[in-house]
Structure 1
Amino acid sequence: MKNKANNLIMRNAVFAWIAAGVGCLLLLPLIAMQFTTEVNWETADFIVMGILIFSISSLFVLVARKVPSKYWLVWAVLCAVTLFYVWAELAVGIFTNLGS
């Protein structure tokens, strides 16, 4: 399994898979907007979240290519925490008023 993961991360096609995954993730709020008024995203929200998720995922891939595989979990957690912090900051503004 480790060799298979290494092989996928080393190929540049991984960025196409990341883009496809980001597109699928962004379908969730788009579909939710059709059924409820609680989800109210504008075009800019989709663009910002798409760029944020794609860039954090790409950053993980680029770092994973450089560091040994035993540190991948640490980098994955760090990238996830960064993603969720920036997302929360943009949504509601935890430490700043970016989301307000």
Structure 2
Amino acid sequence: MMTQKQKTFTIYLLPLVLLCIPLLGTLISKEINWSVSDFLIAGVLLFSTAFLINLVRSKIKKQSQRILICVFVLMVFGLVWIELAVGIFGSPFAGN
């Protein structure tokens, strides 16, 4: 059984692990071309999502509400990530 401290550590470790994937791709392949600003934006998005999920886990006591809010946070994260990557909504900060 994981303690609360271990769960929090795991939540904040996951963004670092996820950022290592494009870092390795950038180092190994010429096809993946992330700049420093790409890593900074991805890091801010991933760590803010991790922070919000950790905040929800600690403040919301009812399990069903906790799951619903976490799913909402993940959906918003996904939509912002997709918008930055390919621009599905056509906003001024859209990618490609």
- Place the TM-score, normalised by the shorter chain, in its bin: 0.7 to 0.9
Aligned with 2:17 (options 20, 24, 28)? 24
Give the aligned length.
93
Per the TM alignment, residue 75 of structure 1 is displaced from its structure 2 partner at its CA by 1.9
1-structure distance, mates of 2:54, 2:73: 10
Identity %: 33
Per the TM alignment, residue 44 of structure 1 is displaced from its structure 2 partner at its CA by 0.7
Alignment of 1:16-95 (within 5 A): 16-67=9-60, 68-95=62-89
- After TM superposition, the score normalised by the length of structure 2 is 0.79
2-structure distance, mates of 1:89, 1:52: 12
Task: Mark the runs of 5 or more structure 2 residues left unpaired by the alignment.
Answer: none
Per the TM alignment, residue 33 of structure 1 is displaced from its structure 2 partner at its CA by 1.7
- Structure 1 pair 65–19 and aligned structure 2 pair: CA distance change class (3 A): closer
Give the CA RMSD over aligned residues. 2.3
* Runs ≥4 residues deviating over 4 A: none
Moved more, 81-90 or 35-44: 35-44
1:18–1:54 CA contact under 8 A, matched in 2: no
Moved more, 55-64 or 66-75: 66-75
Task: Mark the runs of 5 or more structure 1 residues left unpaired by the alignment.
Answer: none
- After TM superposition, the score normalised by the length of structure 1 is 0.76
2-structure distance, mates of 1:63, 1:82: 15
